[in-house]
Amino acid sequence: MIELIDIHKWLGGQEVLRGVDLHIETGETLVIIGRSGCGKTVLLKHLIGLMRPDQGRILLNGFDYARLSTPELYAMRRRFGMVFQGSALFDTMTVAENVGLGLREHTSMSRDEIAEVVSERLRMVGLSGLDHQRPAELSGGMKKRVALARALAMDPEYVLYDEPTTGLDPITADMINELIKCLQAQLTITSVAVTHDMKSAYKIADRIAMLYQGRIIFSGSPVEVRETGNPVVQQFIQGIAEGPIECR
């Protein structure tokens, strides 16, 4: 279980996170929704320890991130796999080299052992045989799947998805949602996805939390989100310009 307690973060002269309280239960798929620029990626970076809060605590099974030494922080990060916004694949490497990157850098596995894990992960995401392609030769949906295979390569306990469906056509987006659900059912992982795609949120979430003005203002099941009387949540999920959310 991960707990975020009163997280504050200043970036570029503004307080992006203004007291985030959130817990992530082991085994669940939590989807964090919120407008573009509200701090979703910043929040994910705190979860994986790429950013440190200015104030507040993050606990992983009760251990405070702030108390971890640098080697312990690196060890903690290995428990996470992250699918970055825009996939963040290395164009100079093949698909297999991208997927095997963490294994090459952080384990003592042999080339053959790495190749075996890479093939297995590519099979899981439906991309068997594409090992030698370069990311530039792939469609956006295929890149997302390679990014997913890379996130899963080190057998993470937690998988973080940053906008897994953004920029994809509706059918490809649905295939990615199905894949996320299928992996969640097959593997013992806890997933956190951030998105502003409500269709995706409803499809994959056990629980949905909304980030607004630097805080989690609502959290509940997909049904509870649909039925809430919270006007900010309703405006967001219905996607209407008129309402309490300040539109810039």
Ligand X SMILES: Nc1ncnc2c1ncn2[C@@H]1O[C@H](COP(=O)(O)OP(=O)(O)OP(=O)(O)O)[C@@H](O)[C@H]1O
Residues that bind ligand X (CB under 6 A): 11-12, 16, 34, 36-42, 85, 196
The entry of ligand X, Mg ion, none that residue 42 binds, CB within 5 to 8 Å by partner kind: ligand X
Q: How many CA atoms lie within 13 A of 222 on its CB side?
A: 12
| CA atoms of 74 and 60, how far apart (whole Å) | 14
Q: Which is nearer to ligand X, 44 or 225 (CB)?
A: 44
- Closest distance to ligand X from the beta carbon of 247 (Å): 15
The entry of Mg ion, ligand X, none that residue 81 binds, CB within 5 to 8 Å by partner kind: none
Q: Which is nearer to ligand X, 42 or 117 (CB)?
A: 42
* 67 contacts 241 by C-beta, under 8 angstroms: no
Q: What element of type H or E holds 202?
A: helix 198-204
The size of the interface with Mg ion (CB under 5 A), counted in residues, is 2
Q: Which is nearer to Mg ion, 2 or 44 (CB)?
A: 44
The entry of ligand X, Mg ion, none that residue 39 binds, CB within 5 to 8 Å by partner kind: ligand X
- Collect all residues with Cβ–Cβ distance below 8 Å to 9 and sequence separation of at least 6: 15, 16, 17, 39, 42, 46, 51, 53, 54
2 forms bridges with which residues in the sheet?
24, 60
* 84 contacts 134 by C-beta, under 8 angstroms: no
From the list 85-93, 105-113, 150-158, 210-218, the region that binds Mg ion by CB under 5 A is 85-93
Q: Which of 19, 35, 41, 232 binds Mg ion (CB under 5 A)?
A: 41
